[in-house]
Structure 1
């Protein structure tokens, strides 16, 4: 059966690598310098938030610019990475390898380029990526479609020829708004909000569980996959 999709665009944080605690720790350390005590609500606000630096600047009472937040938090997380390297999520590298069998792979993330390239280099993924879209590369972050549109353009394919792999509601909205079908792997098995749950073409609880779904999405006609997915949910 002829493949429908010819490229896969991955989110990075909490999709390929485990940074669920690293970015909140970095942001908490930075905001503490400005007298702010980080709260669980702030950690939740960072998840999939392409404007994360603006959130941190706001809780610091405007005493730091978003550029200062990005630079300082990136320094903090890279120092932590040097001591305790960021690890891929179980099955994530196998998922990338499976995607490569169907065409180019790319990354679209809100994280800063310094961090992204360091992590991709550590995982030996940099040279395998046809495009790496970072927070600095777009005017509007997720959930706007810009990161995924830029990734598809950089690869040289229309969005309809791409598949996105995402963990967050904002990322899912971004890919869907760009006209890209989505394989969702919600972080820690979280339940997607009602307004988001209908957007992914398929959903898995982990990268390991997502492996056969990715292959199916790349080799099945959309109408057949939709029928199968609906039948499985009954």
Structure 2
């Protein structure tokens, strides 16, 4: 969702930077990149580590509540699409291919974002607080495949971050990677595309078969 369908990583940038300041540090580019695509508990832990907080000085529940409230405020102001994302969802839906939204974002914020994305597009949704372990663990994708009733190898994941791509690969999903805020390493199950603009069904099929077989690059049809 964040960084793949919605251009919401800059919104999270603001909230995470403000959280860092609350703990007396400046959010460095390296620290921010390390939190991209993380579950909220993992992201908070990295900020706490960077701030040098002892276990006694950490309050992940309070910081989590503050972060969720701040992001919800920012989501209400503006929640833009990533280029080509809305058309890509329409394309897949028109082909009759079931879609599941698989996100590390908690249900509370996902429901806000779904007002923009359209919850009716998806067969179901899986959020980071609804599985035992969030991305980069495979649990969210394993749960999505379970809900669809198909093997993960028959599911094409679409990801933008190292954390998300790692989760999809660990689950055994061929993955179409469209990088946003951080580079993603090549991998056996991964096909890369520079944008979702111009995506067609041939490219979707090529990403699935290519991801299963080899590292490849799906030609970007953007003009």
Q: TM-score range by the shorter chain?
A: 0.7 to 0.9
Residues 75 and 230 of structure 1, relative CA distance in 2, 3 Å threshold: closer
Take 1:37 and 1:224, find their aligned partners in 2: how far apart are those partners? 39
Deviations 1:169-219 (A, max 9, x none): 22112111111110110115x6533xxx0234421001115x13x544437
Deviation at 1:75, TM superposition (A): 0.5
Deviation at 1:70, TM superposition (A): 2.4
Residues matched between the structures, number: 213
Residues 155 and 33 of structure 1, relative CA distance in 2, 3 Å threshold: same
* Residue of structure 1 aligned with 2:196, choices 207, 211, 220: 207
- Which residue number in structure 2 is paired with residue 112 of structure 1? 106
* Residue of structure 2 aligned with 1:192, choices 176, 179, 184: 184
Structure 2: tracts of 5 or more residues without a match: none
1:55 and 2:46 correspond: yes
TM-score, normalised on structure 1?
A: 0.79
Structure 1: tracts of 5 or more residues without a match: 1-11
Take 1:174 and 1:127, find their aligned partners in 2: how far apart are those partners? 25
**Aligned-CA RMSD value:** 2.7
Deviation at 1:223, TM superposition (A): 6.8
- 1:217–1:225 CA contact under 8 A, matched in 2: no
* Residue of structure 2 aligned with 1:22, choices 11, 20, 30: 11
Matches within 5 A, 1:40-119: 40-50=29-39, 51-60=42-51, 61-62=53-54, 63-83=57-77, 85-100=78-93, 101-119=95-113
- 1:53–1:69 CA contact under 8 A, matched in 2: yes
Q: What secondary structure does 1:38 align onto? A: coil
Q: What secondary structure does 2:197 align onto? A: helix
